[in-house]
Amino acid sequence: MKRILTLVLVGLFLVFAISGCSSKTATGTYKDGTYKAEQPNFDEHGWKGQIEITVKDGKIASVTYNEVNKDGQLKRDDQQYAENMKAKTGVTPKEAYEKLEQQLIEKQDPDKVDTVTGATHTSQTFKELAAEALKSAK
């Protein structure tokens, strides 16, 4: 009887240990579609963030983030701004955006996206807008 009880306990322990090591997948966590969010106001530098997230098969498939000014110009395409930012922080807006977009696709969760060095404000805005856009996808 002791032997059977020991085997059952060992078996249960193994089941819990193995299930605890399994990785969770994000498959099916979001509804398919395209979701957008935008900051309501321009910041002190005259930019506001915009994000578009496409979900396919329950997973984030593509992400496009940018910041736009009052004239409709995109920060990603502003060469002079990029040169100035690169000189000061070591990264351009386009480089920061691409890193953030890729991380969100890989991690499937805005809270798990790491801040890009030299683009702290942009990273925070990106994560906030991604979370806002994905509220509609849940």
What CATH number does residue 126 fall under?
Answer: 3.90.1010.20
Alpha-carbon Rg for the chain, nearest whole angstrom, is 21
Q: Are 57 and 27 in contact (CB under 8 A)?
A: yes
Tens-place pLDDT, residues 11-61: 444 444 444 443 344 446 899 999 999 999 999 999 999 999 999 999 999
Residues 85-95 have a mean pLDDT of: 97
Query: What is the DSSP track for 88-100?
Result: HHS--HHHHHHHH
At residue 33, the 3 state secondary structure works out as: strand
What's the total number of domains in the chain?
1
Lowest-confidence segment of 8-17, 49-58, 74-83, 125-134 by average pLDDT: 8-17
69: domain range? 33-135
Share of the chain above pLDDT 70, in %: 80
Closest by Cα among 25, 33, 36 to 56: 33
79 located within any domain: yes
71 located within any domain: yes
The pLDDT-based confidence of 2 (bands split at 50, 70, 90) is low
